[in-house]
Amino acid sequence: MLLVKKILGCSTLLQFVFWFECRVIKHAGLDLKQFVEGIREGVVGSKALEIFGERMIEGDFRPGGFAEYQVKDLGMGVDVVEGAEDDDVVVLPGASLWKQLFTSMVANGQGKLGTQGVISIIQNINGMNQ
């Protein structure tokens, strides 16, 4: 259950990160804070977005949980699926992607940042250092 919660929570954050970094929000002339406030109550809103959306906008990467723990937890889930001996193939692309992004944070010395710090990896990939 822990892995399912982590994957779903991370998926919500990833959607926001991609919108933010693709500059779709800014390009449309929307204020990032107004955008988060506007979608908070809708179908795409979530507790994760409510908590971490504003923190990402502010560059506040204080941890609620460390990125390095995400690597460990997601790794356990991905490793179990990859090591399965039965004929059922289970693909967890979200968990695998998140494991890679959090592993990049750890490799860059950002393992003690919070989950929302993943935006820094996306910014680095796109040459948009904060």
Domains and their CATH numbers in the chain: 2-125 (1.10.1040.10)
- The C-alpha atoms of residue 118 and residue 61 are separated, in whole angstroms, by 9
Per residue in 54-100, pLDDT (tens digit) is 787 788 888 877 888 888 888 777 766 555 566 666 667 778 888 89
Sign (positive/negative) of CA torsion 61, 66, 67, 68?
positive
3-state class (DSSP) for residue 89? coil
Assess whether pLDDT exceeds 90 at residue 106: yes
How far, CA to CA in Å, does 68 sit from each of 39, 99, 103?
Answer: 29, 10, 7
- The C-alpha atoms of residue 98 and residue 10 are separated, in whole angstroms, by 7
Per residue in 5-50, pLDDT (tens digit) is 777 767 666 666 665 655 566 667 777 777 777 777 766 667 777 7
